[in-house]
Amino acid sequence: MDRFLDAVFLGLSSGAIYALVALSLVVVFRASGHLNFAAGEMGTLSAFIAWAFYDAGVPLVIAALLGMAFGALLGGATEVAIVRPLEKKSPLAVFVALIALFLGINALTTGIWGAPPAEEIGNLFPNDPEDFWRIGGGVWRDRDIGALVVTLVITGLLFFLFQRTRFGLAMRGVASNAESARLVGVPTSRVLIGSWAIAGAIGAIAAILVAGNQGQVTPIIMVTIFVYGSAAATLGGLDSPGGAVIGGLLIGIIENLAAEFSKDWVGQEMKLGVALLVIFVVLLVKPSGLFGTAKVERV
């Protein structure tokens, strides 16, 4: 039972980070209809910026917020400078550009920060071996609870944004029917930039959490996480923010349970395989995922 709880707790926490990446992908997808391949790398770059502030003496929390601000800027800039002009040419052009961005940012961060010494960064939450809670026999580390809390807070904020604010209504309108949105006077341009900026900020905090867990920021921290995030978004439904969170948590839990209880077949090394399997199964059986809308398939 202990092992079970341990796996579940761990799953909720890694799942929380997958959920954040998935949220980032979903927000962009709802607004622009594109999959942001560079989401992970944009997060990594933002994490490095946060590290730069932290290294210069800024308190970690402030540095993290600054990193998120940078992420927002990066996201908005990508929308304006790359996605919007290329959208007029063709969807393939946007796809290629985002992939080039993925590669480029990865190469950039490697080039700038790739050499030792490592860029050490602290964790936003208490991270010593004795900082944990015992719940029902299982162990849940403070930092892992923290990651889940962050995700839930951000999810809550997004919910509030979407359901209770004018801008959130505009975002939902654009996602639902962009042409009508323009007709009623919604500033679609601002909605697009805003969506990408929010996605960028979310990606940034995800990367900062990951870096905190590893104790350092490296250029490759988000590469696998991006795949997990994609799996979560696919499972939940590419246009469902709630689905993204649930998808992320589910994948986290499933992969950890599989790794713990099927050490032979899965084990730690094949956890990613679980996520990949999820992608294949979902796309085979119900591409719109658990909570997505079917219309999205006919893109």
Partner 1 sequence: MTTVDDDAYVSELGPQAVAAEPAAAATLLHVANLRAGYGPVVVLHNVSLSVGEGEVVVVLGANGAGKTTTMRAISGTIPREGEIDMAGRSILKASPDAIVRAGIAQVPQGRGTFPELNVEDNLRIGAYTQRGGGIDDDIKRWFDTFPRLAERKTQKAGSLSGGEQQMLAIARALMSRPRLLLCDEPSQGLAPRITKELFAIIGELSRDQGIAVLLVEQNANLAMHIADRVYLLETGHIVASGDAETIAADDSIRKAYLGY
Partner 2 sequence: MLKLNEGSPGHWVIRIIWVAAVVAALVYIPTKTNTSTIGDIATATQLAIAAMSLNLLLGYSGVISIGHSAFFGIGGYTTAILVSEYGWTQGWTIYVAAALAFVVGCIVSLPALRLKGVYLALVTLALAVLFPTLVRWGKLAWLTNGAQGISGIGYEQTPTWYNDHFARWQFINESISLPELRGREGRAIFLYWVGILILAVCYLVCRGIVKSRVGRSLIAIRDNETAAAVMGISRAKTKALVFGTSAAMCAVGGCLYAIQSTLAEPNLRFFTLLGSITFLLIMVLGGAATLWGPIVGAFAYVILDTRTRQAGESGEGVIGWLFGWMTGSPATLVLAIVLLIIVFVAPFGIVGLLKRIAAKFIVIIPRPAGTAPLPVSALEEPAVAGSPI
Positions that interact with partner 1 (CB under 8 A): 166, 169-170, 172-173, 175-177, 179-187, 293
- Tell me how far, at minimum, the Cβ of 213 lies from partner 1, in Å: 36
Tokens at 167, concatenated: 């801008």
- 222 sits near partner 2 (criterion: CB under 8 A): no
Stretch that binds partner 2, among 105-113, 128-136, 159-167, 194-202 (CB under 8 A): 105-113
Among 58, 287, 291, 293, contact with partner 2 (rule: CB under 8 A): 287
Note whether 3 binds partner 2 by CB under 8 A: no
The sign one gets for the Cα dihedral 212, 216, 218, 224 is: negative
- Is residue 208 exposed (0-12), middle (13-18) or buried (19+ Cβ within 10 Å)? buried
Kindly tell me the burial class for residue 82, based on how many C-beta atoms sit within 10 Å of its own C-beta (0-12, 13-18, 19 or more).
Answer: middle
Q: Which of 106, 123, 240, 256 binds partner 2 (CB under 8 A)?
A: 106
Choose among partner 1, partner 2, none what residue 62 binds, the Cβ cut-off being 5 to 8 Å by kind: none
- Candidates 55-63, 68-76, 90-98, 251-259: pick the segment binding partner 2 (CB under 8 A): 90-98
Name which of 154 and 181 has its Cβ closer to partner 1. 181
Could you tell me which residues are beta bridge partners of residue 35? none
Considering the complex, state which of residue 92 and residue 183 has its C-beta at the smaller distance from partner 2.
Answer: 92
Per the rule left: phi > 0, alpha: psi between -120 and 50, beta: everything else, 155 is: alpha
Q: How far is the CB of 84 from partner 1 (least distance, A)?
A: 16
Work out how close the CB of 109 gets to partner 2 at its nearest, in angstroms, rounded to a whole number: 10
Buried b or exposed e, range 236-269, using 16+ CB within 10 angstroms: bbbbbbbbbbbbbbbbbbbbbbbbbeeeeebeee
The dihedral of CA 124, 128, 133, 136: what is its sign? positive
The listed partner (partner 1, partner 2, none) that binds 114, CB under 5 to 8 Å by sort, is: partner 2
Q: For the window 252-271, what string marks contact with partner 2 as x by the rule CB under 8 A? A: -------------x-x-xx-
- Cα separation, 236 vs 252, whole angstroms: 13
For residues 260 and 6, is the Cβ–Cβ distance under 8 A?
A: yes
